[in-house]
Amino acid sequence: MKAQPQASHFIDGAYVEDTDGTVIESIYPATGEVIARLHAATPAIIEKAIASAKRAQKEWASWSPAARGRVLKKAAEIMRERNRELSELETLDTGKPIQETIVADPTSGADSFEFFGGIIATAMNGSQIPLGGDWAYTKRVPLGVVVGIGAWNYPQQIACWKGAPALAAGNAMVFKPSEVTPLGALKIAEILIEAGAPKGVYNVIQGDRETGPLLVSHPDVAKVSLTGSVPTGRKVAGAAASQLKHVTMELGGKSPIVVFDDADIESAISGAMLGNFYSTGQVCSNGTRVFVHKAIKEVFLSRLKARTEAILIGDPQDEATQMGPMVSLAQREKVLSYIDKGKAEGATLVTGGGIPNSVTGEGFYIQPTVFADVTDDMTIAREEIFGPVMCVLDFDDEAEVIERANATEFGLSAGVFTADFSRAHRVVDQLEAGTLWINTYNLCPVEIPFGGSKQSGFGRENSAAALEHYSELKTVYVGMGKCEAPY
């Protein structure tokens, strides 16, 4: 199986190679096979990408917002036409089952291009401020060259969720995908050119944790938008702050789902399973601490166990497969070590806990795992695992569960399942998170803002709110009379 792109980078409208860069191997997680070899960007490639973006941005920003919007909407159309091909590539890049990628990856990227392409014609309007005789007006202007740095769990979606609002607002983007999943973003760059974007408006370069800092500290870069872990976020935000650059930080989480005793139990189990097992648990907003009211604990766990054991694990290219492997061997090792800690610290293993017997070969498979009787101080309840490991904790009382749910440095997401709507709103009001769900979980349509609070980051992706993070206000005071001075 091969997925070798024409070259490693896409700059100024064309594929570019520089074999001096360190080799990045793209590994298909279902077999462990190397499916492409690419090169990390050298300093020369970085200069080329940023210079091209800087040139292109001037022209792009001079287009009317509606004209930029037309290009983005065209890109959305092309992505939808090629959904199958792009989804197959995403499956090779990440190991996520085609059943998921066909509905969640290129399609959510296309939604983003379509949404921002649609709203931009009016979303960049400024205001007019009367001041008596004088007056002022504001303009919303792009920042310039912006850098996007991606994680490996949603490579195409992240490339689009950053690219669409950035380009709509009149910026040019240099995007660096994760070194673990280098393939998808190159296709997005190709599609934007096909849709009519000027060369250089969206460049993709490859690289790892050595390459990222070179982009972040480049003097011609006005903003960095990172999707990644909290430790990386601290480094990137620190480096950007030293040059007073704008940042958006989409970081990790340890989000709570609270299931009250009046909840529809099957629905709450669906929410908890979606929020722990989709994409083999590799989703930042996952609700990995599931607080279940003691009165329904037994029935919740027995149904959860049965439904978890029925998940079809296997070949990601088979339409029937519901769960694929983890993205890498290293990530599986990390998750297995957390499972060992859960067992050692006294949590009850309800199901899973190892490598499934049902799949053979060299793939990075792992069983969907549920721990019960988890307490707040256990490592598995405190640290982000980023794999299919659900921790079920018990609670008695509303005030108690809110306090425990908030007792974390993270604040990405939270969910509540209850039939009592005043309780639902009262509880979400007190939960410390950027994105919350009532009686559902992990739905992130482009129309709603997405992002975290506390150590999970700042800035928002999606919705009109994202445009504020890719533009700034320019204020013009217009003096209508003579300029008076006391001197």
Residue ranges of the binding site for NAD(+): 150-152, 176-179, 252, 284, 384
Closest CB to ligand NAD among residues 86, 236: 236
Q: What is the DSSP letter of 429?
A: H
Which segment (187-195, 210-218, 316-324, 467-475) binds ligand NAD by CB under 6 A?
210-218
Considering the candidates 96, 223, 254, 284, report the single residue annotated as catalytic: 284
Q: Strands across the sheet with 289-293, in order?
A: 348-351, 369-372, 389-395, 289-293, 256-259, 413-417, 435-438
278 binds ligand NAD (CB under 6 A): no
209 binds ligand NAD (CB under 6 A): yes
**Location of structure tokens 């609670």:** 395
Q: Strands across the sheet with 471-478, in order?
A: 128-131, 134-142, 471-478
Closest CB to ligand NAD among residues 214, 401: 214
CA 353 vs. chain centroid, Å, equals 27
| Interacting residue with ligand NAD among 148, 212, 316, 342 (CB under 6 A) | 212
**Can you say which residues are annotated as belonging to the binding site?**
26-27, 93, 150-152, 176-179, 244, 252, 284, 384, 454, 457
Closest CB to ligand NAD among residues 52, 331: 331
| Interacting residue with ligand NAD among 235, 334, 343, 426 (CB under 6 A) | 235
252 binds ligand NAD (CB under 6 A): yes
- Nearest to 94, CA basis, from 164, 205, 185, 160: 185
Considering the candidates 74, 162, 187, 297, report the single residue annotated as catalytic: 162
The nearest distance, CB 326 to ligand NAD, in angstroms, is: 11
**Can you say which residues are annotated as belonging to the binding site for K(+)?**
26-27, 93, 244, 454, 457
Question: Does the annotation count 162 as an active-site position?
Answer: yes
Question: Does the annotation count 383 as an active-site position?
Answer: no
Euclidean distance between CA atoms 89 and 487, whole angstroms? 70
Question: Does the annotation count 54 as an active-site position?
Answer: no
**Location of structure tokens 């250089």:** 200
C-alpha angle 264-411-329 in degrees, rounded to nearest 5: 90
Euclidean distance between CA atoms 408 and 418, whole angstroms? 23
425 binds ligand NAD (CB under 6 A): no
Q: How is residue 310 written in tokens? A: 């029925």
240 binds ligand NAD (CB under 6 A): no
Q: What is the DSSP letter of 324?
A: -
| Interacting residue with ligand NAD among 236, 240, 335, 416 (CB under 6 A) | 236
Question: Does the annotation count 297 as an active-site position?
Answer: no
| Interacting residue with ligand NAD among 30, 102, 120, 151 (CB under 6 A) | 151
DSSP of 438-477? ESS-----TTS-B--EETTEES-BSTTHHHHTTEEEEEEE
Euclidean distance between CA atoms 270 and 440, whole angstroms? 8
User: Do 200 and 56 form a contact (C-beta atoms < 8 A)?
Assistant: yes
228 binds ligand NAD (CB under 6 A): yes
Just list the catalytic residues.
Answer: 162, 250, 284, 461
Residues of this chain that interact with ligand NAD (CB under 6 A) are 149-153, 176, 178-179, 208-209, 212-213, 216, 227-229, 232, 235-236, 250-253, 284, 384, 386, 412, 452, 457
